[in-house]
Chains A and B, each alone.
Chain A
C-alpha cells in the first residue's frame, strides 16, 4: 500500500490488517507513556484546506505517538490564500522530503492529484464530498471491537448522503466487510444512482427497527438555505434519531460534530447504545495504523501484531 486515497483501493484483507494493527496500538494508548519510536526521524505533513477539529487533531496525535516530526499547515495561514496552486504548494512541501502528506480538501480527487505530484505517501483525510477513508476505517474498527464481525450486520445510514464523504467511504467499507447497508433520508439528499454501490434506499424510517446499527450523518444548516429540506423542524420530525426511534438492540454512530436536537436528540446521544465517543477514540489508533502501514508496514515486513516495545521490529 503506497497511499490511502479511497476505500476502493483496499481489499477486505487490507482493511483487516490495518485494523489488527490499530488494535495493537490501542494497547499503547492505554499506557502512561503513549509513544512508540516507529516513525522516528520521518516527517509527516498535515495539509488542511478545510476546517477540521477531530480529523486534524487525531492525525497530529497519531503522528506524534509514532514519534514522527510533524508539520501542520492550515489553508488560512499558508500561501494558499495568496493564490498558490495546489500543485505548487505540494512541490514546495516536497522539498522538505516528507514521508507522508495527509490532505483534507474541499475538492474531490485532491488527494489523488497530490499522489501524482510527490514521492511521499498520501493519506486522504477527506476530499470534497468524495471520500473520507480513515473515518470509514475507524467506523469499521469501532464496530469490530463491539460486534467482532460485520458479516450480515444491517447498517442504516441516515441523513444527508448527497453531501457526505463519510457516507460514501462507509458504504464501501461496510459492504466490503460483509454488512448490508441501507440509506435513508430526504429524497432530495439521496443521490440518484447511489444504489450502484451495493446499498438499498428507503425514503422513510418505517423499517428502521430492522437495523442493527444506525449511523447518523450530520445535517448542515446551509441545506435549508439551499432548499433541500423545507425546515429543520420537518427534518427532525421525519429523520431525527431519538430515544423513541432508537431500539435497545441497536447501536448508534455519528461522525461528529453532532447538531444536538437536529439529526440526533440529546437522549439518543447520551444513550448506552451510542458509540460516538468510541469512534473518536478509535480515530487516533486507526490513523496510527494507517501511517504505520504506509511508512513502515510494507517496507519492513513487520509482523502483523507489532510489539511496540521492540524498536527493531518497527524501525528498519
Chain B
C-alpha cells in the first residue's frame, strides 16, 4: 500500500472510540479532554468527553488521563535493509517505530547495496508493502555508492519514489559536487539531506573533542568539523536557491550557522536528535559503546544551544537517527565499535522526561517537533481533525517504564538510554488508519453493541 510517498503493508481500517483522552495538536489548536471516533481508518468525529458513543463493532478505549497526539514522524532512521538484516529489517524497524508512537518514518539509503539505483529502490518499496507496520518513505543516495564522485540518477530515483537524497553516514566532501546536486535538484526535486562533517577535522575521531576526550585519550572530533561545513553548504544552498536539510546537528556553532542562513532567506532546515538534546560527552566517560555515535555527544553548551534552537525555531524537527547494531558489534572497545544508537522507542519518553517534565520545553512544542519532519520532505503532517486519516499516538504521561526492561521491538538493543526510567508510555499507535501498536495494557474495554 502506498500513501503519497510512503509504503506499508496496510491492514484492517481501525474502528475505534478513544474516550476522554487529553487531545493535543498544536496545529489545530486542540488542547483539552475529548472523545475521538475513528471510522474506517479516518477521524470521523470529535466530541466533548463522554459525548460520543461507540457504534456497533467499534472498540472503545477508555483513555481518561492519557494524552492523544498526532502520530509522530521521524525523517531519519536506518532500517539496514537490504544487506544488514541482522541489525534490523523493515518489519522490526517499523515495529520499533510504532512502539514509539511514530506513524511515518524515512529510511536512509546507506544500505548494502546503497539505494543509488531505481531498481534497488523499487525492490525496497515492494518489501515495505509486505512488511512495514507503519508507512516508510525512502531517501536515495546523492552520489553513487555514497562515494562522492558521481551523481545518482536523481530524476529516475524520484520517479521511483525517493522523497529526497542523502549520503547520510558520510558528508558530500567536495563543494562542487554538492553544488551540482543542488543544480540538478531543479530538475529532479527532492530535498537534499546532509550529514555535515569535514573529514580533515574528523578522520579517525571517535568522540567530541574536549575535556572528556583529553581524559580518555580518545581522538576528538571538534565541533567546527561540523559547523564549518554547515556554513559552507548553507551558503551554496542560498547561492543556488536549492532546498537543503541538515541532519543530526550536534554543535552550537552549527545552530548559529543555520540561524544565520535562515535569516538570509536560504531554504535550509535542521534536525536534532533526542540523544544530542539530552546527553553530553560526559556519558562517554563510562566508555560504554552505547554512547558512540556520529556526530558525537558534545558539550553541555552545545546541548543548550540545540535546546534553544528547538525553542526559537532554528531547529525544525526532532529526528532519532535510529541506528541499530547487533550486540556483538557493540561489545568491543569503544574505538572499535560502530557509530549509532537506536532511538525510535525512546524518542518521546526521553525528551518528555528530560526536557518537558522539568519545564524546559513545552509539551506542545515537543509534539510539534516530533511531527514537523513530515512537511520538510513534502509529506502530509498528521493532524487531529475530522476527515484526516487516523495517525495517532496515545500516551500515558503518568506511567513510568524502564528502557529495555522487557526487551525492544527493534532487533537491536543499542539504546543509549538502556536501563533509564522514563515517564510516558505509548499505549496505542494508529498509523495511516490501522492499529500499528498496542501496549499490552491497552486491551479493548468494550466493543459497542447494538442498543
Interface residues of A (CB under 8 A from B): 85-87, 105, 107-110, 112-113, 127-131, 163-165, 168, 191-197
A108-B218 CB under 8 A given contacts A86-B333, A128-B333, A128-B335? yes
Look across to chain B and name the residue whose beta carbon is closest to the beta carbon of A131. Answer: B217
Chain B interface residue bracket vs A: 20 to 34
Q: List 13 A-B contacts (CB under 8 A).
A: A85-B331, A87-B331, A107-B333, A107-B336, A108-B217, A113-B331, A128-B333, A130-B216, A130-B217, A191-B209, A191-B213, A192-B209, A193-B214
Inter-chain CA distance A108–B332, complex, in Å, is 10
Q: Mark B95-132, 1 if CB is under 8 A from A, else 0.
A: 00000000000000000000000000000000000000
CA distance A157 to B218 in the complex (A): 19
Complexed CA–CA distance, A193 and B334 (Å): 20
Interface residue? B406 (CB, 8 A) = no
Is there an interface contact between B214 and A192, defined as CB atoms closer than 8 Å?
Answer: yes
A109 adjacent to B215 (CB under 8 Å): no
Complex: A113 Cα to B215 Cα, angstroms: 18
Taking A105-B333, A110-B333, A163-B217 as known contacts, 12 extra A-B pairs with beta carbons closer than 8 A to each other, sorted by chain A number, are A87-B332, A108-B216, A108-B287, A130-B218, A131-B217, A168-B215, A193-B209, A193-B213, A194-B211, A194-B214, A196-B214, A196-B215
Measured CB to CB, the closest approach of chain A to B7, in angstroms, equals 37
Query: Would you call B220 and A192 a contact (CB within 8 A)?
Result: yes
Report B-chain residues with C-beta under 8 Å of the C-beta of A195: 211
Q: Which residue of A lies closest to B215 (CB)?
A: A197
Which parts of B295-348 form the interface with A (CB within 8 Å)? 328, 331-336
- Is the CB of B13 closer than 8 A to any CB of chain A? no
B49 interfacial contact with A, CB 8 Å? no
Task: Report how far A109 CA is from B336 CA in the complex, Å.
Answer: 11
| Residues on B with beta carbons closer than 8 Å to the beta carbon of A86 | 332-333
Most B CB contacts (10 A, CB to CB) among A107, A131, A194 go to A107
Residues of A within 8 A of B214 (CB): 191-194, 196-197
A129 to B287, CA, bound (A): 13
For the complex formed, measure the closest distance between the CB of A41 and the CB atoms of chain B, giving whole angstroms. Answer: 32
Chain B residue nearest to A191 in the complex (CB): B214
Does B210 make an interface contact (CB < 8 A)? Answer: yes
Chain B hits for A196, CB < 8 A? 211, 214-215
Q: Tell me, in angstroms, the Cα distance from A192 to B207 when the chains sit together.
A: 13
Q: Which residues of B contact A108 (CB under 8 A)?
A: 216-218, 287, 333-335
Q: How far is the CB of B40 from chain A (nearest CB, A)?
A: 52
CB of A112, distance to nearest CB on chain B (Å): 6
Contact residues in A for B218 (Cβ distance below 8 Å): 108, 128-130
The closest CB in chain B to the CB of A194 belongs to: B214
**Contact indicator A85/B328 (Cβ below 8 Å):** yes
Closest B residue, CB atoms, query A8: B215
Set of chain B residues within 8 Å of A192, measured between Cβ atoms: 209-210, 214, 220, 222
200-237 of chain B: CB within 8 A of chain A: 209-218, 220, 222
Contact of B333 among A113, A131, A165, A197 (CB under 8 A): A113
A194 CB, min distance to chain B CBs, angstroms: 4
Q: How far in angstroms is the closest Cβ of chain A from B211?
A: 4
Q: Which residue of A lies closest to B327 (CB)?
A: A87
- Separation in Å of the A103 CB from the closest CB of chain B? 11
**Residues of chain B contacted by A85 (CB below 8 angstroms):** 328, 331-332
Q: How far in angstroms is the closest Cβ of chain B from A113?
A: 6
0/1 string, B261-304, CB within 8 A of A gives 1:
00000000000000000000000000100000000000000000
* 10 residue pairs, one from A and one from B, having the closest CB atoms: A129-B217, A107-B333, A109-B287, A193-B211, A196-B211, A191-B214, A194-B214, A130-B217, A193-B214, A193-B210
- Most B CB within 10 A of own CB, among A105, A164, A165, A193: A193
Distance in angstroms between the alpha carbons of A163 and B316 in the assembled complex: 40
Do the beta carbons of B210 and A109 come within 8 Å of each other? no
Complex Cα spacing A113 to B214, Å: 20
Give chain A nearest CB distance to B296 CB in angstroms.
14
Least distance between A23 CB and chain B CB atoms (Å): 30
B215: A residues at CB distance < 8 A: 168, 193-194, 196-197
| Neighbouring B residues of A105 by C-beta, 8 Å | 333
Interface string of B12-47 (1 = CB under 8 A from A): 000000000000000000000000000000000000
- In whole angstroms, how far apart are the Cα atoms of A127 and B335 in the complex? 11
CB distance from B20 to the nearest CB of A (A): 47
User: Which residues of A have CB within 8 Å of B213?
Assistant: 191, 193
Q: Which residue of A lies closest to B334 (CB)?
A: A109
**A110 and chain B: residue at smallest CB distance:** B333
A105–B328 Cα distance when bound, in Å, is 19
CA distance A192 to B217 in the complex (A): 11
Quick one: closest A residue to B206, CB to CB?
A108
- Nearest A-chain residue to B299, judged by Cβ: A193
For A163, the chain B residues whose CB sits under 8 A away are 217
Determine the chain B residues whose CB is within 8 A of the CB of A128 once the complex forms: 217-218, 333, 335
Taking CB as reference atom, which chain B residue is nearest A87? Answer: B331
Residues in A neighbouring B217, C-beta threshold 8 A = 108, 128-131, 163-165, 168
Which residues of the other chain, B, contact A107 by a CB distance below 8 angstroms? 332-336
Taken together as a complex, chains A and B put the C-alpha atoms of A107 and B331 apart, in Å, by 13
A153 to B332, CA, bound (A): 39
Q: How far is the CB of A129 from chain B (nearest CB, A)?
A: 3
Tell me the nearest residue of chain A to B212, going by C-beta: A193
Q: Looking across the interface, which residue of chain A has its beta carbon closest to that of B219?
A: A129
A127 to chain B, nearest CB (A): 8
B residues near A87, Cβ cutoff 8 Å: 328, 331-332
CB-defined contacts of B222 to chain A, threshold 8 Å: 192
Q: Measured between C-beta atoms, what is the minimum distance from B273 to chain A in Å?
A: 23
Interchain CA distance A107-B332 in the complex, whole Å? 9
The residue in chain B whose Cβ has the minimal distance to the Cβ of A113 is: B333
Please name the residue on chain B nearest to A168 by beta carbon: B217
A24 to B70, alpha carbons, bound, how many Å? 72
Give the most central of B210, B211, B220: most A CB within 10 Å.
B211
